[in-house]
Amino acid sequence: MASIELKNLVKKYGDGFPAVNDVSLDIADGEFVILVGPSGCGKSTLLRMIVGLEDITSGDLMIDGKRVNDLAPRDRNLSMVFQNYALYPHLTVFENIAFPLRLAKGQHNEDEIRSKVNQASSMLELNEHLERKPANLSGGQRQRVAMGRAIVREADAFLFDEPLSNLDAKLRGQMRTEISRMQRRLGTTTVYVTHDQIEAMTLGDRVAVLKKGVLQQVASPRELYEQPVNLFVAGFIGSPPMNFLPAQVVGSTLKLPFVDVPISQNLADQIKGHEFVIAGIRPEYFKDASLGGVEGVRFSAVVDQTEWLGNEQYAYIPFEAPEAVHSTLEELDRDLDGEGLRTQLVVNLDARSRIREGQEAELVFDPELMHVFDPNSGDNLT
């Protein structure tokens, strides 16, 4: 096992915009770190730089304190698991898993190989399939074979590039649990690329969020969710995403589309000079006031649409965004791969709520849970 240190890593393809731009990150021995961000933000490039499949334009990559920029991939002792599994179709499951051991010529005798493959295949429940070829396996089983191959190498770290994205939702859930269990059992340092919210929130000790090659925040899933450093992270982490509401600044009050919210003097001082800021409130922080039990700021609004999912429901409430914040919201939406200006409030309510489409709903939220963002820098001021 090993620690991995990224020091000011830069990757430029040709003379274009850097795909990875000055990324520094210390990954501790045994740690599980997730890399997330929208398509094209540089996640795979960063992973490929660590494993040695891409040259490093500048910066230092250290594994266990040693600079490995110029070390060939096979000499880095890292195991990579790809999205498409990269199995050999003509080899059985056993031989696919044994492959890295046979590649290290002369280092393992036949008994050792058999014992290592058997150990990995029992861990991954592949014992019954060892004589099959990959074509005769399900997607989940193929993914397990790819993991088995990574395990037998006893590499210093596992690198996963969206390993579950070809699986259906149910299997993804199962494999997610297996990967987590395997990593805990082996204690192997792991870097895992995904754009799946649930994988990002459940698998890692820490999550690193990238935007256009630049690291935005590295934190535990809870900290990212509760204390995002900027609009981008706030909008990227969480599903459905955080609501961003234009808020007119009037002294120590924020005028949101449906309600006035008092703010602290400290915050009022920070945002003095802004005509508008962006207020961020997660959908689940709103409650149906008629169900009682929640203190906070109350307001009423006409619900445009509802979706009842059995265990919860969503209500959609359109609002007007003043011209002054259009460019901020539009830019944010582009960064987040969105579909246009977000001018509806999304509220995630208890399934018991009797709120109906076309009717006025009485809602309440705790203003302590509201984030306030600088509309120019996007920084979280709360």
Stretch that binds ligand ATP, among 33-41, 149-157, 177-185, 277-285 (CB under 6 A): 33-41
- Distances, alpha carbon 174 to alpha carbons 161, 189, 203, 205, in Å: 18, 21, 12, 19
E strand residue ranges, 282-359: 286-288, 297-302, 305-308, 312-318, 344-350
Per-residue string for binding with ligand ATP, 343-362, x by CB under 6 A?
--------------------
Query: Residues 5, 27, 31, 45: which binds ligand ATP (CB under 6 A)?
Result: 45
CB neighbour burial string for 22-57, b if at least 16 within 10 angstroms, e if fewer: ebebebeebbbbbbbbbeebbbbbbbbbbbbebebe
CB 288 within 8 A of CB 350: yes
CB neighbour burial string for 132-171, b if at least 16 within 10 angstroms, e if fewer: bbbeebeebbbbbbbbbbbbbbebbbbbbbbbbeebeeeb
Given the complex with ligand ATP, which of 70 and 337 has the nearer CB atom?
A: 337
CB of 162 to ligand ATP, least distance (A): 7
Under the criterion CB under 6 A, does residue 41 sit at the interface with ligand ATP? yes
Query: Residues 4, 21, 33, 44: which binds ligand ATP (CB under 6 A)?
Result: 44
CB of 275 to ligand ATP, least distance (A): 35
Stretch that binds ligand ATP, among 25-33, 42-50, 105-113, 175-183 (CB under 6 A): 42-50
Amino acid at position 322, single letter: P
Query: Which positions from 219 through 258 interact with ligand ATP, judged by CB under 6 A?
Result: none
Q: For 127, what's the count of Cα atoms within 13 Å in the CB-facing half-sphere?
A: 7
Query: Which positions from 132 through 191 interact with ligand ATP, judged by CB under 6 A?
Result: none
CB of 42 to ligand ATP, least distance (A): 4
Helix axes 139-152, 169-186, angle to 10 degrees: 10
Query: Residues 15, 39, 105, 106: which binds ligand ATP (CB under 6 A)?
Result: 39
CB of 83 to ligand ATP, least distance (A): 9
Q: Is 233 left (phi over 0), alpha (psi -120 to 50) or beta?
A: alpha
Given the complex with ligand ATP, which of 44 and 183 has the nearer CB atom?
A: 44
Stretch that binds ligand ATP, among 32-40, 108-116, 358-366, 372-380 (CB under 6 A): 32-40
Whether the CA torsion 373, 240, 343, 319 is positive or negative: it is negative
End-to-end alpha carbon distance in the chain: 39
CB of 54 to ligand ATP, least distance (A): 8
CB of 150 to ligand ATP, least distance (A): 19
Query: Residues 19, 61, 208, 279: which binds ligand ATP (CB under 6 A)?
Result: 19
Q: Is 96 left (phi over 0), alpha (psi -120 to 50) or beta?
A: alpha
CB 97 within 8 A of CB 127: no
Per-residue string for binding with ligand ATP, 192-211, x by CB under 6 A?
---x----------------
Stretch that binds ligand ATP, among 43-51, 96-104, 111-119, 136-144 (CB under 6 A): 43-51
CB of 166 to ligand ATP, least distance (A): 13
Residues that bind ligand ATP (CB under 6 A): 13, 19, 37, 39-45, 195
